[in-house]
Amino acid sequence: MIQKLYDWIDERVNITPLWRDIADHEVPEHVNPAHHFSAFVYCFGGLTFFVVVIQVLSGMFLTMYYVPDIENAWDSVKYLQTQVAHGQIVRGMHHWGASVVIVMMFLHTLRVFFQGAYKKPRELNWIVGVLIFFVMLGLGFTGYLLPWDNKAFFATQVGLQIAESVPYIGEHLKVLLAGDPEIVGAQTLTRFFAIHVFFLPAALFALMAVHFVLIRRQGISGPL
């Protein structure tokens, strides 16, 4: 059945050359764990991408029930946790995945740094990777407020104070994020939701696309 569907699609859009170009790409021997145990450090990037996929899929599920309003945000999260089938599991995956993805990106960054994989001709890809890291931190920061509990409220206040301390643009940055410069309230929650669900994911997908294209063109860096 799957083969017939594939043949039907391939007959119309000719996807076989593209698929072969992706699937038949040779992987260097030094990144094969079967040959070198140290090759496992090259898995950090792929594992990071795997966790990102989990975050995206679980986040899409959460948005089906979440209400970005200060009167209903916590109630919608509670409903998801207690009334929706497997909702607690999916929210738990999203919650813990937010921490796991930062850890995996940190390990991946360490591998790239200590093996010198940021050097010529991969400087641009290093910059793109650093930008992805900052986007992921932004996703973690904006997502922390969405449950609208006491911990999220006061943690966000501290985060906005840190943003306000940025030289020259700090005050404008705080207003951009919070909406209201005086209080963390309805505008803040709405803006954090929009940034978390629309703006930062769009930036993440664009940067990841560039990251993967550069990896494909430049190849995987060798060991020291």
b/e map 106-122, b = 16+ CB within 10 Å: ebbbebbeeeebbeeeb
Express each pLDDT in 48-59 by its tens digit.
999 999 999 999
Query: What CA dihedral angle connects 92, 93, 94 and 96, to 10 degrees?
Result: 80
Give me 162's structure tokens.
């840190």
Express each pLDDT in 116-148 by its tens digit.
889 988 999 999 999 999 999 999 999 999 999
Q: Is residue 98 part of a domain?
A: yes
CATH code: domain of residue 205: 1.20.810.10
Express each pLDDT in 151-173 by its tens digit.
999 999 999 999 999 999 999 99
Question: Looking at residue 21, what is its pLDDT?
Answer: 73
The parent domain of residue 108 ranges over 43-218
Q: Is residue 73 part of a domain?
A: yes
What radius of gyration, in Å, describes the C-alpha atoms of the chain?
21
pLDDT at residue 4 tops 70: yes
Q: Is residue 26 part of a domain?
A: no
pLDDT at residue 89 tops 60: yes
Q: Can you tell me the mean pLDDT for 83-92?
A: 96
Q: Is residue 93 part of a domain?
A: yes
Express each pLDDT in 5-18 by its tens digit.
888 888 888 888 87
> Is 149 in contact with 73 (CB distance < 8 Å)?
no
Structurally, the chain folds into a number of domains equal to 1
Q: What's the pLDDT band for 206 if we cut at 50, 70, 90?
A: very high
Q: Is residue 32 part of a domain?
A: no
Q: Is residue 115 part of a domain?
A: yes
Q: Where are the alpha helices (DSSP H) in the chain?
A: 2-13, 16-23, 44-63, 73-82, 87-114, 123-145, 150-164, 170-178, 186-194, 200-218
pLDDT at residue 62 tops 70: yes
| pTM of the complete model | 0.89
Q: Is residue 108 part of a domain?
A: yes
Q: Is residue 69 part of a domain?
A: yes
Give me 141's structure tokens.
């920061």
Task: Pick the range with the lowest mean pLDDT from 3-17, 29-43, 45-59, 199-213.
Answer: 29-43
Q: Can you tell me the mean pLDDT for 92-118?
A: 94
